Amino acid sequence: MSLPLEGLSAIVTGAGRGLGRAEALELARLGASVVVNDYGQPGRDGSGTASSGPADDVVAEIVAAGGTAVAHTGDVADFAQARALVALAADTFGKLDILVNNAGILRDRMVFSMTEDEWDSVIRVHLKGHFNTTHFASVHWRERSKAAGGPVYGRIVNTSSEAFLAGSAGQPNYAAAKGGIVGLTTSTALALAKYGVTANAICPRARTRMTEDVFAGFGVPDAGALDSLSPEHVAPLVGYLASPAADRVNGQLLVVHGGMVAVVERPCVSAQFDTGNDVFTFKELDAVLTPYYAERSPGQTFAATEVLGLKRR
């Protein structure tokens, strides 16, 4: 019996540790050949001998389990290096079928304390990084589709966050980047559907090196028990979205953690007001909007804070 992703090739960015590592291992377990991307060069051990880096370590795990993988240590936020990443997958495996964008960093601070560099660096790695790889993957699929005279196989799984949905007060840069990724995902889903490509976004909650401070207050599981915030809860959904089984799943946003997957519906219009004239006046807006908001709770904003309470039933 063939595996769900057998014969397919994948890129997973930020895959040296944490979520990306779990996702790369899962895709390989399901049969995909994987390019494991993680920014940085191999280091040196205490004796001065060159040692492998995180990407190489994950490749070694995949190969040891009988899979196929290669490492890429470039910066996905660099346009040229993102091009090289997609080219590596196509040249090594003959084509690219799956792109999982996971690479990211945190520079948490309140908006009034945040520096320009803290803002720029997070937007660059998360949002620009997602765009760069998506751009070159989409060029690859469009060219293949034109050559084939019809749709090809393509899957994009992007990584957003509940910080965007709930409005994390201490993460304005991160929340903005993750919201931008959702916009990028829905736009890409519409643009690439005719080529056979789907694009979806997930909001994972996981305890990783990047989020250890964020989830410091969450309980640690007993010895031998699986952490409800383990990346292993997230990876199966990525494997599913990357598979032929998810052919009809496109332009979607899903929250995933602790044995639970929640499908997030698109925003709805809660009220509409029309001017009785050619254009609204201040007085007319005051007459309709002020009483409307007077009846709403001050805490009822566009932020969907209820997603933070989601848990397995």
- Catalytic residue flag (residue 47): no
Q: Which pairs from 106-110 meet CB under 8 Å and 24+ separation?
A: 106/171, 106/174, 106/210, 106/211, 106/214, 107/173, 107/174, 108/170, 108/171, 108/174, 108/213, 108/214, 109/170, 110/169, 110/170, 110/172
- In the chain, the N- to C-terminal Cα span, in Å, equals 33
Residue with tokens 């964008």: 101
Coil, helix or strand at residue 93? helix
Q: Is the dihedral of CA 24, 25, 28, 34 positive or negative?
A: positive
Active site residue 161: yes
**Pick from 106, 181, 209, 167: which is nearest to 303 by CA?**
167
Beta strands in the chain (DSSP E): 9-12, 33-37, 69-72, 98-100, 154-159, 197-204, 253-257, 260-264
Q: Which amino acid is at 173?
A: N
Report d(CA 97, CA 308) in Å as an integer.
33
3-state secondary structure of 238: helix
Beta bridge partners, 257, equal 260
Task: Using CA atoms of 199, 145, 93, 32 in order, give the dihedral in degrees to the nearest 10.
Answer: 40
- Does 178 qualify as catalytic in the annotation? yes
Catalytic residue among 161, 228, 230, 243: 161
Catalytic residue (one of 39, 153, 174, 195):
174
Spot the catalytic one: 178, 228, 230, 243: 178
| Rounded CA separation 25/13 (Å) | 12
Cα-Cα-Cα-Cα torsion 190, 191, 192, 195, nearest 10 degrees, comes to 110
Catalytic residues: 161, 174, 178
